[in-house]
Amino acid sequence: MYEQDDLVYDSRRPIAPYAHTRPTTERPWVKWLLIGIAMAFMLAVLVLPLVLVFTEAFRKGADAYFAAFTDAQSLAAIRLTLLVAAIAVPLNLVFGIAAAWCVAKYEFPGKTFLTTLIDLPFSVSPVVSGMVYVLLFGAQSFLHPFLRANNIEIIFAVPGIVLATIFVTFPFIARELIPLMQDQGNGDEEAALSLGATGWQTFWRVTLPNIKWGLLYGVLLCNARAMGEFGAVSVVSGHIRGKTTTMPLDIEILYNEYNFAAAFAVASLLAMLALVTLLVKTILEFRYGDELAGTRRH
Amino acid sequence: MKTTARLLAIGALFASVALTGVVTARAADQTLLNVSYDPTRELYAAYNVAFAKHWNETTGNNVTIEQSHGGSGKQAQSVIDGLQADVVTLALEGDINAIAEKAGLFNTDWRGEFANNSTPYTSTIVFLVRKGNPKGISDWGDLIKDGVEVITPNPKTSGGARWNYLAAWAWSNKANGGDEAKNIEFVKELFAHVPVLDTGARGSTVTFAQKELGDVLLAWENEAFLVLDEFGADNFDVVYPPSSILAEPPVAVVDKNAEAHGTVELATEYLNYLYSAEGQTIAAANHYRPSNPDIVTDKALLDAFPKIDLISIDDPLFGGWKTAQPKHFGDGGIFDQIFAPQG
């Protein structure tokens, strides 16, 4: 590549042609300073808190740690979190593919508007997302007499939590697929159709295999957020213990009850989920980097 | 194009099926939802066990009591927005009034429904200091001494913090012979000594006990004793000022909700039983002052409550919550005028 000399800056040396570092290469000390700052920042802001979660969780020993998971209310919170993710993620999977398909494969009026709308949950504060549902389905809303008459509970019950979670995790899969599908174009599908495949056959045998890794990646992110969402869920939950508290809300309650070991034990479970997600994501990127190319762009 | 349309249709179908599936019908089993404020967690955890036993013994039925805790004002708003509370047990009369006025879920004369203005237990505000009381804090005036850092939540968001503020005001009023300008000066000085203003009582307690900030925590009496239990009595002392405020956290049946759930009788008995010997004893054991101390079975519990001079919110100095709330804590009220956010 280039000579060792290129990387050493010496002010006493006369400036000879090519002797100086290239304009596109920083001085070494700049490079190491930048790397150092980035590393220190990551250590302080990401790694240290993560380590603390686990040390706090085990502060009172392994027994206290595992006791946290036998508590009926924490178990209920874990169950509810899994239920919410099990409903929200498949729904967003279907929506995400449909939306990405629309945006990537067709031209239609209002396409830019649709793309912007998909991003809305990213730009709106989760608290606002929750409040919107309270306004829409709460006791002061115009829908309430109808809901009440039909004995349908949405806010302060499981459906409200599911709705809020869907809203917040809405864009993850669509945002993952849109650039990927745009990159791939319509060629494969057109070939399949012209060879006599039906719409469904084309989808299952051509489109889906093309996008599967990007899709899996989107599902992972969507799932992590669905389980970890706090703000929007907090607004619509009503905080009924053992009934409408998800894991993040349970952590807050335990912390407020001075039950720090249990709070951090449940927190460590959530953190582990994040780590596993990250691990799977890294493996996917490593093995199927090419097919994920579209995802690197944003 | 066809495929997209089908996909969308299937997605919509999936969505509606999934949602219908989770719309849960209320079980035939009797459940009761008690929506309460933050510091009562331990009280109701103990009381609910006792009440379920009592209800089973007298009626033969089983009852599951569900609890929701949070800041008193926030909880009231949730009930207004449709949280299906059968009973509310909140920190302030004003929060329960808000439910009656804004949502019309029960009559505005709810205070007459149960004994003692629907207040089964009372509490007061005390000082929690570091062990040995190194800053020598014994009365409200000591809070504004140089170098004393006071921890209290924000009166705009916390019920407990309003009692803190009013207790300080009452002391100043007595010390300064009723000079309102000096009272304002005192509370202003007091909040200048507050380094962190949390939104709720629990947040402040964690700030003081766990994060070890500040020299004195203005706390609910029960909250102060809870800290001794949870964080060890070797680290803190409870200091009773000679005078403080009489905090009356009231209770009410949310009539419209209880009627819809068929739990009126259960809800009424749930609150009534708070006044029984067992209910009052549980309140005392959790450091709430029983409204009827004579029937408390374990008299030793009563010795933990020193007799101090307690002023009521209905005293002419405050003129009840309906007057005190807008004057002190409303938008542009005295608190807004004296408190300048730092930074």
C-beta neighbour count of B277 within 10 angstroms = 15
List the single residue in B with minimal CA-CA distance to A80: B22
Given pLDDT bands bounded at 50, 70 and 90, which one contains residue B105?
A: very high
Domain assignment of residue B222, yes or no: yes
Q: B76 and B95 in contact (C-beta within 8 Å)?
A: yes
CB B70 within 8 A of CB B88: no
Tell me the C-alpha distance between B283 and B297, whole Å: 12
| Contact between chains at A258 and B230 (C-beta distance less than 8 A) | yes
Q: Does A241 touch chain B (CB under 8 A)?
A: yes
| CB-CB neighbors (< 8 A) of A154 in chain B | 23
- As annotated, the residues of chain A forming the CATH 1.10.3720.10 domain(s) are 61-297
Number of C-alpha atoms within 13 angstroms, CB side, residue A294? Answer: 24
Same domain for B190 and B326 = yes
Q: In chain A, whose CA is at the least distance from the CA of B83?
A: A156
Shared-domain flag, residues B129 and B115: no
Contact B78 A156 (CB under 8 A): yes
**SS3 sequence of B71-124:** CHHHHHHHHHCCCCCCEEECCCHHHHHHHHHHHCCCCCCHHHCCHHHHCCEEEC
Distance in angstroms (rounded) separating the CA atoms of residues B31 and A12:
85
- Provide mean pLDDT across the span A157-180: 93
- Judgement on whether residues B131 and B113 belong to the same structural domain of the protein: no
pLDDT for B2 equals: 47
CA of A169 vs chain B CAs: smallest distance (Å):
15
Strand partners, B33: B66
Q: Which of A144, A145, A95 is nearest to A118 (CA)?
A: A95
% of chain B with per-residue pLDDT over 70 = 91
SS3 B43: helix
Question: Which residue reads 């921890």 in tokens?
Answer: B151
Exposed / middle / buried, residue B226 (Cβ in 10 Å: 0-12, 13-18, 19+): buried
CA–CA gap between residue A140 and residue A174 (Å, rounded): 34
Same domain, B131 and B80: no
Q: What whole-number distance in Å separates Cα of residue A6 and Cα of residue A9?
A: 8
Is A108's Cβ below 8 Å from some Cβ in B? Answer: no
Tokens of A255: 């912390």
Where residue B182 sits, what CATH number does that domain have? 3.40.190.10
Q: What is the pLDDT of residues A34-87, one digit of tens each?
A: 999 999 999 999 899 989 999 989 988 888 898 888 888 999 999 999 999 999
Residue A292 pLDDT: 55
pLDDT surpassing 50 at residue A201: yes
Cα four-point dihedral sign B106, B108, B109, B114: positive
User: pLDDT value at position A187?
Assistant: 87
Residue B3 pLDDT exceeds 80: no
d(CA B8, CA B4): 6
B210, B240: one domain: yes
Give a yes or no: residue B226 inside a domain. yes
CA distances from B37 to A240, B40, B210, B212, B236 (A): 12, 6, 21, 24, 25
Q: What is the pLDDT of residue A17?
A: 52
Please name which of B59, B243, B43, B269 lies closest in space to residue B140, comparing C-alpha atoms: B243
Distance, in Å, from the CA atom of A89 to the CA atom of A96, rounded to the nearest integer, reads 10
Is residue B107 over pLDDT 80? yes
**What's the ipTM?**
0.76
Domain count for chain B, please give it: 2
- The percent of residues in chain A predicted with pLDDT above 70, rounded, is 88
| Residues of chain A contacting residue B81, judged by C-beta atoms under 8 Å apart | 134, 138-140, 155-156
Say if A209 is an interface residue toward chain B (CB within 8 Å): no
The encoded tokens of residue B22 equal 């989770």
How close A247 comes to chain B (CA, Å)?
15
What is the CB neighbour count within 10 angstroms for residue A93? 19
B105 and B213 in a single domain? The answer is no
Quick one: B48 and B112 in the same domain?
A: yes
Q: Are residues B99 and B40 in the same domain?
A: yes
- Euclidean distance between CA atoms B336 and B162, whole angstroms: 13
Nearest to B11 among A87, A98, A241 (CB): A98
Once rounded to an integer, what is the mean pLDDT over residues A150-172? 92
Candidate from B6, B83, B226 with C-beta closest to A156: B83
Dihedral over Cα of A283, A288, A289, A291: its sign: negative
Indicate if the pLDDT at residue B6 is higher than 80. Answer: no
pLDDT digits (tens, 9 = 90+) for A210-247: 888 889 889 999 999 999 999 999 999 999 998 999 99
Residue with tokens 């009166």: B155
Same domain, B168 and B67: no
The radius of gyration of chain B from alpha carbons, rounded to an integer in Å, stands at 23
Average pLDDT over residues A261-277: 89
B63-68/B30-36 β-pairing: parallel
Strands (E), B24-62: 30-36
pTM score of the predicted model? 0.80
Q: What average pLDDT does the structure give for chain B?
A: 89
Contact B66 A156 (CB under 8 A): no
C-alpha distance from residue B203 to each of A131, B14, B71 (Å) = 23, 42, 10
- The verdict on B324 and B191 lying in the same domain is yes
B328 is in which domain, residue-wise?
Answer: 125-246+313-338
For B156, the token pair is 């705009």
Q: How many CB atoms lie within 10 A of CB B144?
A: 19
Range ranked top by mean pLDDT from A23-27, A184-188, B192-196, B228-232: B192-196
Query: Does residue B202 sit in the same domain as residue B330?
Result: yes
* Residue B253 falls inside a structural domain: yes
Chain B residues in contact with A260 by the CB 8 A cut-off are 210
Q: Does residue B78 sit at the A interface (CB-CB below 8 Å)? A: yes
Residue B94, token pair as written in the block = 């004003």
Task: Check A101 against B26: CB less than 8 A apart.
Answer: no
In a domain, B25, yes or no: no
Q: What's the sign of the alpha-carbon dihedral A16, A19, A22, A25?
A: negative
- Say whether both B223 and B324 belong to one domain: yes
Q: Is B22 within the bounds of a domain?
A: no
Dihedral, CA of residue B179, residue B181, residue B187 and residue B192, to nearest 10: -140
**Which residue of chain A has the CA closest to B32?**
A240
Q: Which amino acid is at B31?
A: T
Separation between Cα atoms, residue B113 and residue A132, nearest integer Å: 36
> Could you tell me which chain B residue has the CA closest to the CA of A254?
B41
pLDDT of residue B8: 47
Look at residue B16 and tell me if it is in a domain. no
Among candidates B41, B208, B68, which has minimal Cα distance to B126?
B208
CATH superfamily of A61-297: MetI-like (1.10.3720.10)
A197 near B CB under 8 A = no
pLDDT in tens, A85-125: 999 999 999 999 999 988 988 888 888 898 899 999 989 99
Question: Other C-beta atoms within 10 Å of B145: how many?
Answer: 12
pLDDT in tens, B150-165: 999 998 878 889 999 9
Residues B84-95 pLDDT 10s: 999 999 988 889
Judge contact between A102 and B4, C-beta under 8 A.
yes
DSSP three-state, residue B150: strand
Q: How many Å apart are CA B56 and CA B62, to the nearest integer?
A: 6
In the numeric block, which tokens belong to residue B158?
Answer: 């916390």
Contacts of A152 in chain B (CB under 8 A): 23
Contact B12/A at CB under 8 A: no
Using pLDDT thresholds of 50, 70 and 90, give the confidence band for residue A149. confident
Residue B18 lies in a domain: no
Tell me how close the Cα of B25 comes to any Cα of chain A, in angstroms: 7
- Integer Cα distance of B210 and B17 in angstroms: 47
Given a contact cutoff of 8 angstroms between Cβ atoms, the answer to whether A101 and A211 are in contact is: no
Question: What local confidence, expressed as pLDDT, does residue B14 receive?
Answer: 47
Q: A213: part of which helix (H) or strand (E)?
A: helix A208-228
